[in-house]
Amino acid sequence: MIVTVTPNPSIDRTVTVPAELVRGAVHRVQSVTTEPGGKGVNVARALTLAGLDTVAILPAARHDPIVTALLSCGVSFHVVPIDGAVRTNLAITEPDGTTTKINEPGAVIDEITLAALTQSILDRAGAARWVVLSGSLPPGVPNTWYADMVAQLRSYDCKVAVDTSDAPLAALSAGFATAAPDLIKPNSEELAGLVGVEAQALEHALFQGNPDPVVDAARQLIDRGAKTVLATLGAAGAVLVNDTGSWLATPPPIKPRSTVGAGDSSLAGYVRADVGGAQAPQCLQMAVAYGSAAAALPGSALPSPAEIDLDDVAVTSLSPYPA
């Protein structure tokens, strides 16, 4: 079983406009999609489409619209009851795939609810192969919560992945030496923020065929205690670094339609490959195949296995990790 945790779930509403978004102008909407979302929910949706035994844990009122939406998607889930409503996040996509996101803060989580959420995770961790902790933290949850969860999950026989940003990611990084997850999945901005470089410099270098700055940044995290770093840089590709080596995956050319859920799909692809017994390069290949397929889909749609073509993703072995 794979457990995904989304402490700040959302209803993701994606509107597509037929031309470039102009601030202050009136735009006619071309299409609208609404899906259950939040990063962990997206991972669960993608893994469910792949036929993997997955359960999504999230806080929500029992009759919240996200519950109905998850039922319609066929995703198994466990709800930790709250009084507030799950937030609605708005994404606006342009014809070239440029996506503008407007995210609400989410419902406040009190100490009792947070304790129940934590216990729900621990109750299922014993039977899990992976626990995936994803997304922002809602009001009321301390920035150290992901780091605390990783520490508590160390005594369980499961792998742990974390995909988050800003203060929660910084708090997680500060604890790598004592309690590091098995996998972190930063994008260019998140990776750059952790090591004090410019995100654009990382992306530009990778676009120019030079993965060294990305690898060097990821290795700094490995040196701090991180186990595996999956750095996703959109159309530029992705780099995987662990204590044995590093690899670069180059995505196929696609016509981007929406980036909503692309990073979550990459994480789902990695986990899917890992539970199937794949080695690190093949996990990276599956991750990039999933992310590229998601970016080619409209709204917050997620790819099924039929839409994944591993042969379109080139993987290059870079230098081994220095002794």
Rounded alpha-carbon distances, angstroms, from residue 217 to 185, 224, 283: 13, 11, 20
Say whether pLDDT at 167 is over 70: yes
Does residue 9 sit within a domain?
yes
pLDDT of 101-137, one tens digit each? 999 999 999 999 999 999 999 999 999 999 999 999 9
pLDDT of 175-212, one tens digit each? 998 889 999 999 999 999 999 999 999 999 998 889 99
Say whether pLDDT at 33 is over 90: no
At residue 92, the pLDDT reads 92
Looking at residue 151, which CATH number applies to its domain?
3.40.1190.20
Say whether pLDDT at 322 is over 90: no
Q: What's the rounded Cα separation, in Å, for the pair 24 and 122? A: 48
Within 8 A by CB and 6+ apart from 124, the residues are 1, 3, 55, 57, 78, 131
At residue 320, the pLDDT reads 73
At residue 49, the pLDDT reads 97
DSSP 251: P
- The percentage of residues in the chain with a pLDDT greater than 90, rounded to a whole number, is 85
What mean pLDDT is predicted for residues 138-147? 97
Nearest Cα to 66, choosing from 53, 80, 49? 80
What mean pLDDT is predicted for residues 70-95? 94
Say whether pLDDT at 323 is over 60: no
DSSP 139: T
Rounded alpha-carbon distances, angstroms, from residue 304 to 61, 67, 214, 313: 29, 22, 29, 17
Does residue 323 sit within a domain?
no
At residue 297, the pLDDT reads 86
226: enclosing H helix or E strand: none
Containing structural domain, residue 222: 2-317
Does residue 322 sit within a domain?
no
Rounded alpha-carbon distances, angstroms, from residue 258 to 27, 51, 166, 323: 18, 24, 23, 41
The confidence band for 44, taking pLDDT boundaries of 50, 70 and 90, is: very high
Does residue 173 sit within a domain?
yes
Does residue 46 sit within a domain?
yes
Total of domains in the chain: 1
Catalytic residue positions? 264
At residue 321, the pLDDT reads 62
Does residue 85 sit within a domain?
yes
Range with lowest mean pLDDT among 143-157, 267-281, 291-305: 291-305
Instruction: Specify the higher pLDDT residue, 257 or 229.
Output: 229
Does residue 159 sit within a domain?
yes
Beta-bridge partners for 315:
249
* Token pair belonging to 135: 């997304």
User: N- to C-terminal Cα distance for the chain?
Assistant: 35
Does residue 146 sit within a domain?
yes
The confidence band for 300, taking pLDDT boundaries of 50, 70 and 90, is: confident
36: enclosing H helix or E strand: strand 31-37
Q: What is the mean pLDDT of the chain?
A: 94
What mean pLDDT is predicted for residues 233-251? 94
